[in-house]
Structure formats: C-alpha cells, structure tokens
Amino acid sequence: MTSHDAAKRAEGALLTAGVLKRLGKASLDTLCQRISCQKAAYFAKRLGIIPDYQYNLYIHGPYSPDLADDLYALRKDIQHLSPVTFANEKLEEKFLRLEHWIAGLSTRQLELLATYDWLDRSGQHAKEMLKSLKHASEDEVRWCEGKLKGFIA
C-alpha cells in the first residue's frame, strides 16, 4: 500500500468513525454494539455516505474485516472525534434519512435487514436464506422486505 493509499484509507476511517459516532453506533465494547456498528456502517456505505468497505457474509450478517480493523485502530480516539456533519446537502440528507431509518432498531433487526439486503444483492434467494441462516420468521421476512423497500434507490 502506498503512502497515498494509506492516507486515503485513514481519512475514510475517520469519516466512518465520525458518521458512526453521530449515529450513536461507534462503541465496540460489546458484541451487540459491534454488530450494530457493522450494520450501521453497511447501510451508510450502501447510501454512499462512507467509503466502500467490502463485506462478506458472516455469523451475524454482512461483516467487513477492514472496517473492524479501522475502527479498532481508532478505538481510543473515537470518543474525542467530533460527529460528522456534511457540508454537502445531498450527503447530509442521506445521513438524516439513514439516522431516521435505523432509529430504535434492535441489533437483531439491523442484522436481519443487512443480511436480507446482502443476500438479495448477491442474487441469492433472500427470503429462504434469511429463514435458514437467521431462523427468521415469515413476519420478520415480510418486515425486512417492507423496511428495505425504497430505502436504497
């Protein structure tokens, strides 16, 4: 990795940490917090708010090792970071949409939504796979479909 690439990655990591802090999802202390953090970042990436971290399907849904590495590297500094606000009006609108959309969602709900979205985007049978992988009920699958419909245009 060149010094330019390293600087760009560090800048992206700081932006991501600031976005997560503003969403109230920057803590890495517990497993639930780490899952919520990963899923909030997943949807922030889907909206184009943060850098394009690569995700793999893991035990608790889409997971980015690079995101985890970046956040752990910044772990001691996150508390001192200012939450990000966007001068770009479109990015700020996307952020506010995401903030409103994830408000009040449980870790389980974020995990189901991100998993369904990831499966659907990868061309897999999201409904059946969500039921199988996450033991999702029919109601949870319908809820995911409704919640995701129209969210990411």
The token pair that represents 61 in the structure block: 């849904």
pLDDT in tens, 25-74: 999 999 999 999 999 999 999 999 999 999 999 999 999 999 999 999 99
Question: What is the sign, positive or negative, of the torsion defined by CA atoms of 93, 123, 64, 112?
Answer: positive
* Termini Cα distance of the chain: 33
Confidence of residue 153 (pLDDT cuts 50, 70, 90): low
**Element holding 95 (H helix, E strand):** helix 89-102
Structure tokens belonging to residue 109: 């709900």
Whether the CB-CB separation of 87 and 36 falls below 8 Å is answered with no
**Rounded-to-integer distance, Cα 40 and Cα 60, Å:** 13
Tell me the pLDDT band of 114, cut-offs 50, 70 and 90: very high
Is the predicted pLDDT of residue 4 greater than 90, yes or no?
Answer: no
CA–CA distance, 115 with 58 (Å, rounded to integer): 9
